Structure 1
């Protein structure tokens, strides 16, 4: 497994995608950078990365026959891998806020951005970007953000965490070949707010209250509403409010 280390870049995802247009890369090639000037989050949001304090990580995953209908499993694999890696750092109450934010308590410690290259109804390859807050001590204007250092009071090696995350991703991609349902069950066991009454905002700005039950294989969240009705929503249709 190859790791490309950079000092500064606009975005590790963008760098890796440009590299793929120029040359053939080994499966599970990783790009990491000490600093990102234009780190990307989901839905066009910016991922803030302080120089050398946090992990800016992108991994290339090649597929031979990956049906686009299973694309949410990439979120499952990535979220579980980050959670399993972070558990080694004595963090309490690690959960996955659907679809793929990693939470420590009620604060976000990691985010994931997945970009797929699709031909027909198959995913040819994915570039999975992962940001993890490691040694940053404060987040101005980001009250819902945290880091390993804030949670534990300990500084940690970014390089060590990089290697652990790469190995864990490889393990879970291997597991996906034979234990797809097991991975989804693990993901559901990690759901933030599961079996609790939570507040949501739909894409037409209506407010909704309900209990998170599970997430399906195609990525829809199942909510038991206050009227006891069960409803399913895609992540483009509803947002969990913290």
Structure 2
């Protein structure tokens, strides 16, 4: 694993994309930063992190995705790599709030952003951005956020966590190539509030009740509605109210 450490950068994803465009870096090259000034989340959301306290990283994954409709498989591999690593560090009540927030109980501790590009030869290169709240303890104005330090009462080693996550990601990438059904089921089993009636809101800000059933082959959220039909929702088409 090639590791590039930066003190400060606007975005580790953008930095790694720049390297990937100009060179041919080795697979699973990792960029980390102590401070990220323009961290991004899904659909342009902002990811804020206290300087030096958290794990901010981006990983290059190539030679994995063959078809564009397999993209969600990488999301599964990454999410489960984080879950597995955190379980080994005794973080309780872990779940995945679809599509890619990691929660402990009902508090967000990690967010994932995957950006894909199709090269001229048809290959797909993916930049996996991960923010993990490790040693930050001040979450003023962020009532739904927490960190590993808050949860465990002690500081954790960011580099050990990074190494463990990347090692598990490599294993998951191999596993999902050969046995996608197994990891997909593990992902579904980890879904936050699965099989529990929950209020949701759609893009028109209409509220409704639904029960999360699972995910479609391309990663859409499958929700059982009150009329006993199952609808599929893409990212940002639905919001869970909790």
TM norm structure 2: 0.96
1:192 and 1:17 mapped to 2: Cα distance?
Answer: 31
Aligned length: 242
* Structure 1 runs, 4 residues or longer, greater than 6 Å off: none
Conservation of the 8 A alpha-carbon contact between 1:29 and 1:60: yes
Which residue does the alignment assign to 2:66? 66
Q: How does 1:121-132 map to 2 (within 5 A)?
A: 124-132=124-132
Match of 1:4 in 2: 4
Offset at 1:64? 6.2
Matches within 5 A, 1:82-121: 82-119=82-119
- Listed as ranges, the gaps of 5+ residues in structure 1 are none
**What aligned pairs does 1:125-204 form with structure 2 within 5 A after superposition?**
125-204=125-204
Alpha-carbon displacement from aligned partner over 1:198-219 (angstroms, at most 9, x marks no partner)? 1111112211211111112211
Partners of 1:116 and 1:127 within 8 A in 2:
yes
1:64–1:87: structure 2 CA closer, same or farther, 3 Å change rule? Answer: closer
| Cα separation, 1, equivalents of 2:154 and 2:142 | 21
Change (3 A) 1:240 1:6: same
Alignment partner, residue 47 of structure 2: 47
* Equivalent position SS for 1:46: coil
Q: Residues 65 and 71 of structure 2 are in contact (CA less than 8 Å); yes or no, is this contact kept in structure 1?
A: no
Relative to structure 1, the CA distance from residue 140 to residue 123 in structure 2 (aligned partners, 3 Å threshold; closer, same or farther) is farther
Structure 2 residue runs without a partner (length 5+): none
> Per-residue deviation at 1:228?
2.1
Q: Aligned to 2:173, what secondary structure does the other structure show? A: helix
Q: Deviations over 1:93-127 (max 9, x none)?
A: 10000001000100100000000002599552000
RMSD of aligned C-alpha atoms?
1.6
Structure 2 partner of 1:218: 218
Deviation readout 1:7-39 (Å, 9 max, x if unpaired): 111111011011112211000101011111111
Checking the alignment, whether the CA contact within 8 Å between 1:118 and 1:124 is kept in structure 2 is: yes
Q: Which moved more, 1:202-211 or 1:153-162?
A: 202-211
What CA distance in whole angstroms lies between the structure 2 residues aligned with 1:99 and 1:16?
Answer: 23
